[in-house]
């Protein structure tokens, strides 16, 4: 219950308060979202398989977001920002899809 409520509360707060992100972080927002989604789907799958621990979710959330943003930031500095961003999105996307497939299997079979 808490996770769903927390997520919904977060979305509502985001729409209502509209917090502004500092200007230099704006370009990394989409990548951070994809990384966060990857952590979220991983957590969902672990929960359905019975192996969920909030500690692992919290750590993977922060590390995913930070590392993805860092990779794109370094890519921007050396000039391959868009290519690295594409690479990160592809890898995270594959992980999200695989986890989503496992979630679907767990939900529809159980």
* Site residues for other proteins per CB under 8 A: 2-3, 6-15, 17-19, 21, 26, 29-30, 32-33, 36, 40, 42, 45-46, 49-62, 91, 94-96, 98-99, 102
Tell me how far, at minimum, the Cβ of 50 lies from other proteins, in Å: 7
Cα-Cα end-to-end distance for the chain: 19
Q: How far apart are CA 37 and CA 32, in angstroms?
A: 9
Phi, psi (degrees; rounded to nearest 5) at 20: -95, 140
- Min dist CB 2 to other proteins, Å, is 6
How many CB atoms neighbour CB 31 within 10 A?
22
- Name the minimum Å distance from CB 24 to other proteins: 15
Considering beta carbons, is residue 55 or 77 the nearer one to other proteins? Answer: 55
């Amino acid at each position: 219950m808490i996770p769903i409520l927390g997520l919904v509360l977060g979305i509502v707060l985001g729409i209502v308060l509209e917090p502004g992100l500092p200007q230099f972080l704006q370009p990394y927002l989409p990548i951070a979202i994809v990384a966060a989604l990857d952590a979220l789907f991983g957590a969902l799958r672990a929960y359905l398989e019975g192996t969920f621990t909030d500690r692992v979710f919290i750590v993977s959330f922060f590390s995913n977001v930070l590392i993805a943003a860092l990779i794109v930031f370094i890519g921007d500095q050396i000039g391959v920002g868009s290519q690295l961003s594409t690479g990160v999105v592809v890898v995270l996307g594959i992980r999200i899809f695989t986890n989503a497939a496992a979630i679907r299997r767990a939900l529809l079979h159980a």
